[in-house]
Chains A and B, each alone.
Chain A
Amino acid sequence: MNFVNRYFIDDVLSPLSGLADSDEDVKQYKHFQSDNENQVKALFHEKIKPAFDYKNDNIKIKTKNALAFYLVSDKVNFASIFHSNLLPFQSPKNPKLFFVWLWEVLFDFENYNLIDIKSFSENNDIDEPWRLL
């Protein structure tokens, strides 16, 4: 059995996580529109993709599986993932779409619907992303 861990989705957002606590970053993203596809994808290309590309293959695969699994199964509340990471801008009206755009930037428009979700079980271990380094 293969396992998916939602915390790999949190982990991929880590270059922006917690920045809602930084007055400087909140000011920087004051006019950022999280529903604007062009702005969101530009941000992902600038901040998320370079960090993701630097990760080891094991983490990349686990991130890809987790994102595809939850985009297809809807077993996670994407708004919850967004809110739990204290990102420095307002939440999008459609949080799932925000993560679809993330998929498109990270995996170059591959079809996430191809994942066989029945072959995966959930194991949401919050420590796994940093333990795999």
Chain B
Amino acid sequence: MRTRTTAGAITKLEKSIEDLAGKFLKTSQKLDDGHYLSKHGAQTTLGQQFRRSITGIAPDGSKGIAVNSSRFFSNNLQYDALKKAVQIFESTGKKSFSFSMEKPVGEGFLSGGRGFVGSTQNVQAVFKNGKLLTLYPKIE
């Protein structure tokens, strides 16, 4: 009984942390005028990502190019990736770079219907005018 209660509390806590990370990302994206949550966030569906990879219509409804289309597995993982991206940006001054999170962080579809990648550890970050423009799981 006690174990079940503890497990329930942990689940509730994890959900709270995930929700908090989501709120942080939402606020952060707004301040950055970025696209990383709306186009690559865990709240996007695989259906939306597939549609972008084929038609260029992104999960946020914007019409662009049919490109590799990916999402993070969770808000927490995207938050961790954002923190690492900011650390690299601040320590190197580099505005656009790829890096490894050394654990699976996301999934997505290769452009033009070339297939689905179920897991990647790699992330691409792009800063513009000192703000994070985008941050996405790099699947190829």
Contacts and interface: CB of A to CB of B under 8 A. Distances in A.
Interface of A: 7, 10-11, 14-15, 17-23, 26, 80, 83-91, 126-127, 129-130, 133
Nearest to A26: B64
A64 to B, nearest CB: 19
Given A80-B140, A84-B140, A127-B99, A23 B68 contact: no
Interface residues of chain B: helix, strand, loop or mixed (majority): mixed
A132 to B, nearest CB: 9
B123 to A, nearest CB: 9
A122 B124 CA distance: 21
B68 A83 contact: yes
B122 interface: yes
Nearest to A18: B126
A130 B138 contact: no
B99 A18 contact: no
18 contacts: A14-B94, A14-B96, A18-B126, A19-B133, A20-B65, A20-B67, A21-B35, A21-B36, A21-B134, A21-B136, A22-B128, A22-B134, A83-B140, A84-B124, A86-B124, A126-B98, A127-B98, A129-B97
B95 A88 contact: no
Chain B CB within 10 Å, residue with most, of A14, A20, A126? A20
Given A22-B35, A84-B138, A84-B140, A130 B68 contact: no
Given A14-B94, A17-B126, A133-B94, 16 more contacts: A14-B96, A18-B124, A20-B67, A21-B36, A21-B64, A21-B134, A23-B62, A26-B65, A84-B140, A85-B124, A86-B68, A89-B65, A126-B138, A127-B99, A130-B99, A133-B92
